[in-house]
Structure 1
Amino acid sequence: MKFGLAIPNCHGDFADIHLVAEVAYEAEQAGWDGFFVWDHIGDKWGDEVLDPWVMLAAMAMRTRRVRLGTMVTPVTRRRPWKLAREVATLDQLSTGRMILGVGSGGGIEYVNYHEPGETQTHGARMDEALELLSLLWSGERISYEGQYYQIENVRHLPRPIQQPRIPIWVGGVWPNKKPMRRAANWDGVCPIGKGVSMTEQMTPEQAHACFDYVRSQQTSGQASADYACVQWGIMDGKDRGHDAALASVYEEAGANWWIENLSWERGTLQELRPFIRQGPPVRA
């Protein structure tokens, strides 16, 4: 089991870029394996919002080992070729530590900014965008003619350090099965439970059912590859033995990454620093 943290890129001192970079350093020193940020641009939770890519660049400059990424990027709100450049550049900057968490997105960040496309097409647009990302990261010269995206005779260099691509983890709401079928084709799944709040988590039984379904959708080749099954989790940080036992239960359910869900509902970033400095309760 690997252990990571995810924080908002918005609201209060979570939008303090200097603090975020320092906390990322502290997380690495404490032994966490990953540090992830939300990807919002103008949010229902307040006007204080940082750009996630600048956040990740600042974090990359303050760390050497911890994996970095988004949880999650609404791909259909991005131009795939611009996103490909941003994430590949961060992979270079971090010496191969980037992970791209993705989701279909929706809500006021589309409506208020008059983003194109209907909600019903987000899944199909996302599938094309993910295919394009993988092609662009190959470093080969490509053309692409899709229903939603088209490019002609382009080549993206330098390639990401990670090959054949930067890992793509697909988010979705369980028990909705369509995003889980999508996740089976990529490098990881990071589900949230339907109706689960930011201070709750899926039960071990729900997590097991989700991971088992994703695995059932994979080919034998996909099933044998390194694959991330993410539990979007909540530990109390007070009883480390209890936290270790809780993580073990989810590991038995199929999770191999625990990502601690931190937000203002659990405190300010300053208030959460003691929890982060404790590090994860157990090591793989």
Structure 2
Amino acid sequence: MKYGFVLSCGLDEVVELAQEAEAAGWDGIFLPDDWMAAWIKLTAIAMHTKRVLLGTMLTPLPEQDPWYVAAQTAILDRLSNGRIILTAGLGVLDLDKFGMQDNKVRAQRLDEALDILDHWWSGEEMRNFRYEGRYYRLQEMRADVDWRSHQPLQKPRIPIWVVGGPKQTQLRRAARWDGAVVTNSDKTLGAETLRERKAAILALRTSDRPLEFITEGETPADDPERAAAVVRPFAEAGATWWLESRWEWEGVSRNEEMRQRVRSGPPALR
């Protein structure tokens, strides 16, 4: 199992905490995506780390221009020597952004945007790229751009993680891409739910590429045995990633608490 840490702090602290996370043995650093500021922070982290994977948790892709996300992440993938993961979702469902109160509309926009990213990262000549969807339409692109410099380093593309929810459309989406996030952030989804979702998603998968299964939650900094006990059932159920994601830290001490958890390192399963 691999271990990531969701850092929810400002630019002044995030680079230093990311460096400490890398030194403590965490495998990935993930940031909440607050309107592309996350990618700027991740660029700063990439310039000051060497090993940890870098991504968002998660990018509300229906609310952003997919070609902009595709270009920004591809360039960052090159700068980071191929360490980028894109976790994409619908966004905060109770907010009415761009008149998208209908979750079905958001879902359709998400799927079209993922198609565009997939093609953009494919290495094909983008000047000849056209896309005709319901919500996104791209005509033949003409610009004096070196498209090779706008391609990610990872092949066949940057890994895409999506939410592996209970709906059939969510299961099919997760089966198509590279990672299924079966969230445990609200403490209501147990290891057995992850096991069931994994089986349902794998039954729909047609690719023979490995598929990551990601869950999240909290473990204590000062009790390694209890931390391992929290994570172990999810590992046994088939999770390949655990994301340490305490979203609410206490008042003015939040950064120090976060630092303490980072420094104590990921749970150790024996």
| TM-fit CA distance, 1:214 | 1.2
1:166 corresponds to which residue? 158
What is the CA-CA distance between 1:265 and the residue it aligns to? Answer: 3.9
Which of these residues, 60, 74, 79, is aligned with residue 60 of structure 2?
Answer: 74
Letter in 1 for 2:162: V
CA–CA distance in structure 1, aligned partners of residues 29 and 124 of structure 2: 30
Counterpart for residue 100 of structure 1 = 86
> Are 2:100 and 1:134 equivalent residues in the alignment?
no
Give the Cα–Cα distance (whole angstroms) in 1 for the partners of residues 28 and 195 of structure 2: 22
What does residue 19 of structure 1 align with? 13
Report deviation, 1:255. Answer: 0.2
1:89 maps to which of 62, 75, 82: 75
For the pair 1:39 / 2:21, whether they are aligned, the reply is no
Amino-acid identity (%): 37
* Aligned residue in 2 for 1:280: 266
In 2 relative to 1, CA 115–51 (structure 1 residues): closer, same or farther, beyond 3 Å? farther
Question: Matches of residues 244-259 of structure 1 in structure 2 within 5 Å?
Answer: 244-259=228-243
Q: Secondary structure at the match of 2:4?
A: strand
- Conserved 8 A contact 1:56-1:68: yes
Alignment partner, residue 4 of structure 1: 4
List aligned pairs for 1:191-210, cutoff 5 A. 191-192=182-183, 197=186, 200=187, 202-210=189-197
Alpha-carbon displacement from aligned partner over 1:224-249 (angstroms, at most 9, x marks no partner): 31211001122122221232233222
**Cα distance in 2 for residues equivalent to 1:75 and 1:36:** 16
CA contact (8 A) 2:15 2:45 kept: yes
Alignment check: 8 A CA contact 1:68 1:97 kept: yes
Structure 2: gaps of 5 or more residues: none
Q: Match of 2:148? A: 157
Choose from 211, 218, 227 the match for 2:198. Answer: 211
Does the Cα contact within 8 Å between 2:122 and 2:156 map onto a contact in 1? yes
Deviation at 1:153, TM superposition (A): 2.7
Give the alignment's TM-score, normalised by structure 2.
0.88
Structure 1 position 25, deviation (Å)? 0.4
Q: Does 1:65 align with 2:51?
A: yes
Distance 1:119-1:245 versus aligned 2 partners, 3 A rule: closer
Matched-pair contact (CA < 8 Å) for 1:95–1:161: yes
Check the 8 A contact 1:137/1:160 in 2, yes or no.
yes
Write the distance in 1 (CA, Å) between the matches of 2:18 and 2:71. Answer: 23
| Structure-to-structure mapping, 1:226-245, within 5 angstroms | 226-245=210-229
Give distance in 2, aligned partners of 1:91 and 1:244: 32
Measured in 2, the distance between the counterparts of 1:115 and 1:39 equals 20
User: 1:182 pairs with 173, 180, 199, which one?
Assistant: 173
d(CA) in 2 for partners of 1:250 and 1:176?
21
**Which letter does structure 2 place at the counterpart of 1:2?**
K
Question: What is the deviation of 1:201?
Answer: 5.6
Deviation at 1:107, TM superposition (A): 4.1
Partner Cα separation in structure 2 for residue 36 and residue 139 of structure 1: 26
> Residue 52 of structure 1 corresponds to which residue in structure 2?
38
Structure 2 contact 249–257 (Cα < 8 Å) conserved: no
Spell out, residue by residue over 1:24-45, the C-alpha distance to the aligned partner (whole angstroms, 9 max, x if none). Answer: 000000000000011134xxxx
For 1:176 and 1:7, the matched residues in 2 are separated by: 29
How many residue pairs are counted as aligned between the two chains?
A: 260
Cα RMSD over matched residues?
A: 2.2
Code of the residue aligned with 1:66 in structure 2: it is: V
Q: In the aligned structure 2, how far is the partner of 1:218 from the partner of 1:170?
A: 14
SS in structure 2 at match of 1:189: strand
CA distance in 2, matches of 1:182, 1:95: 28
